Chains A and B, each alone.
Chain A
Amino acid sequence: MAVVSKANIVREDLLRVEGVTKIFDGAVKAVDNVSLTVASGEIFALLGGSGCGKSTLLRMLAGFETPTKGRIFLAGEDITDLPPYKRPINMMFQSYALFPHLNVWDNIAFGLRRDGLPNDQIAEQVEKMLGLVQLAKYAKRKPHQLSGGQQQRVALARSLAKRPKLLLLDEPLAALDKKLRETTQLELANIIEEVGVTCVLVTHDQEEAMTMASRIAVMSEGHFLQVGAPDEVYEMPNSRQVADFIGNVNIFDGVIDEDKADHVTVRSADCLHYVGHGISGHSGMNVGVALRPEKILLTKDQPASAYNWCEGEVTEIVYFGAHTTYHLKLASGKVIKAQALNNTRDLSYGLTWGDTAYAYWNERAMVVLTQ
């Protein structure tokens, strides 16, 4: 999506988190010495499975939890000890937390009223927000009289109404069904872009993180595994964990044969890899070679090249409609997955169960994982 390019634009830091740790009950380290900076205008995603600490980190930003160690700065000001109601930060809650006893209008006006603004200014801002999320004609409805997608937009309007310096999104799309999620995702991204607010987004859904965020932090067990733009994290994972968590991946265990400035070769049980870029390693080192299924091509004829192919037996063909995934059992017993786009109506390779097939790939398709 369009937002990807924004990562390159240099802006001043809005949020700075320095060495934050949160320990619950004196024992459980929910967040472990995390530091990060978010630039003004950025959409930053915290991505990870349940219990990885992403929600705790978000709740510390909102002020619902106090860090055990470390400081949090917003626009240069230390906000670590500020209670939630004193922070210029607003949150869009998971499953929205709309006040059931107030109608849409009053829900959006709720935060503005706490600031003691005059009524006409409140009205003006609420109308503006209603226009932004296109719910002007639903202003008098109670939350239960709205559909899930409408509720989500009210929640967004409510959290944007006070013009926060930082917007926190807690699993913004988790409560919607799959079909609605795609369109809502686009809408949400567009509104945020239009307002230009800086965002920290928490999600367990990698697609959501990739499409919405300009940068992603992959979290596990309380710390960051990798921080980078979506394409970086996907194409250049820095560890097996990240490669495994984001998307599907085949990992060949091997040993570095040849370590040159412009390429390396890695010998694994089933094939010899020629990687078309240098890495920081040395020959004889144990590494993993990560290869995404969509980067593998299949053929019935043995490739002529000395590198980057292997032979196997087709054990499974899984048809997904838009693409098909083939499982190939290699000589060592290892099973790899190859994905083929179904770009014609008959399946591309003409392979069937039990066939012998050859998998091959480009020298720029692989990532060498040294961790």
Chain B
Amino acid sequence: MNQTLSPKTIKWFSLGWMVAVYAFLYMPIVTLVIFSFNDSPLVTVWSHASFRWYKALMQDSDLISAVWLSLKIAFFSAIISVLFGTFTAFALNRYKRFNGRTLLSSMASMPLVMPDVIVGLSLLLMLVSLQHWLGYPDRGLFTILLGHALLGTAYATVVVTSRLREMDNKLDEAAMDLGCQPFQVFRLVTLPLLIPALVSAFLLTFTLSFDDVVLSSFLSGPGYSTMPMMIFSRARLGLNPTINAVATVTIIVVTIAVIASSFYTSYLERKRKREVAQAYSDSNN
């Protein structure tokens, strides 16, 4: 029975499968982009190409201020997330035994496994209780920031932890052996080696924050509407070509950034490999 499956058949089958999956993944994105250049107010019926909805987008001051708010929140929450994520990853990786380590690691992974609605609800109820006692904080930018920072901390912890795990403990010991006190070890050896991981943690948490709609909806107050919240409320009502225009802009920015960074990392990788090979052939001559 297996004789009927020639290697060629298998090859074509696997190629077809992969093309189909990529088509499934990219079809919605491509249509979104195409119809952003559609002149018709009906999102789904093509009339002719125009920049009509981009002009509309530029005059949509609500949406533009929402984009700014989202960018601001994403930037600051990413910084806070990377900071606390690094602390958490350090506590979990450098100190193998302390009371409540299990609790710390489960708290750090809680936002990863809990549905957003639960994280949002619980944070809001906590903040409401806090406001009940202290009269602070009011719901708004700060509360959204806290929510995103919690979510981001969990993700940043994962990114930094995986880097810390693959880092050689011997480097820390070597630094200490050569006269570094613990904080100097961190500043002179661990931190410089951690920077790529911190950059990717920042990008990841920035994206998560910029994308979040559920936590923001729970935690925002009147007058604070992030870009996803605005898109969500418009999308609930129906289709709106301005959303296509916003989508196209963000997709183009993100795609360029991702492709550029992946080219850059593969360039570094290739350069490194060349140098390693060079070092060995040098020493043999």
B179 touches A145 (CB 8 A): no
State A94–B174 Cα separation when bound (angstroms): 11
A223 interfacial contact with B, CB 8 Å? no
Nearest CB to that of B179 among chain A residues? Answer: A114
A85 touches B181 (CB 8 A): yes
How many chain A residues have a CB neighbour from B under 8 Å? 32
Which one, B192, B193, B275, contacts A145 given CB within 8 A? B275
Q: A101-B192, A110-B175, A144-B272 are in contact. Are A85 and B170 (CB under 8 A)?
A: no
State A141–B171 Cα separation when bound (angstroms): 18
Find chain A residues with CB under 8 A from B178 CB. Answer: 85, 90, 110-111, 114, 158, 162
In B243-265, which residues have CB < 8 Å from any A CB?
Answer: none
In A145-180, which residues have CB < 8 Å from any B CB?
Answer: 145-147, 149-150, 158-159, 162
Nearest CB to that of B283 among chain A residues? Answer: A147
State A211–B282 Cα separation when bound (angstroms): 28
B280 interfacial contact with A, CB 8 Å? yes
State A62–B170 Cα separation when bound (angstroms): 12
B176 touches A97 (CB 8 A): no
How many chain B residues have a CB neighbour from A under 8 Å? 26
Q: A99-B189, A114-B184 are in contact. Are A85 and B177 (CB under 8 A)?
A: yes
A100 interfacial contact with B, CB 8 Å? yes
State A110–B189 Cα separation when bound (angstroms): 10
Nearest CB to that of B192 among chain A residues? Answer: A101
Per-position binary interface string of chain B over residues 182-211, scored 1 when its CB falls under 8 Å from any chain A CB and 0 otherwise: 001000110011000000000000000000
A85 touches B180 (CB 8 A): yes
A115 interfacial contact with B, CB 8 Å? yes
A85 touches B276 (CB 8 A): no
Find chain B residues with CB under 8 A from A97 CB. Answer: 168, 170-171, 173-174
B275 touches A114 (CB 8 A): no
Find chain A residues with CB under 8 A from B174 CB. Answer: 91, 93, 97-99
State A158–B171 Cα separation when bound (angstroms): 13
Nearest CB to that of A88 among chain B residues? Answer: B179
In B133-171, which residues have CB < 8 Å from any A CB?
Answer: 168, 170-171
A92 → chain B closest CB, angstroms: 9
Nearest CB to that of B172 among chain A residues? Answer: A97
Per-position binary interface string of chain A over residues 96-121, scored 1 when its CB falls under 8 Å from any chain B CB and 0 otherwise: 01111100000000110011000000
State A100–B192 Cα separation when bound (angstroms): 10
A319 interfacial contact with B, CB 8 Å? no
B175 touches A144 (CB 8 A): no
State A149–B193 Cα separation when bound (angstroms): 24
Q: A62-B177, A93-B173 are in contact. Are A145 and B276 (CB under 8 A)?
A: yes
State A27–B178 Cα separation when bound (angstroms): 32
B207 → chain A closest CB, angstroms: 27
Nearest CB to that of B276 among chain A residues? Answer: A144
Find chain A residues with CB under 8 A from B171 CB. Answer: 97, 99-100
Which 9 pairs between the two chains have the least Cβ-Cβ distance? A114-B179, A111-B178, A147-B283, A97-B170, A97-B174, A84-B176, A101-B192, A145-B275, A85-B179
17 extra interface residue pairs, beta carbon distance < 8 Å, beyond A91-B174, A99-B175: A63-B177, A85-B177, A85-B181, A93-B173, A97-B171, A99-B171, A99-B174, A100-B193, A110-B188, A114-B179, A115-B179, A144-B275, A144-B276, A145-B275, A145-B279, A147-B284, A162-B179
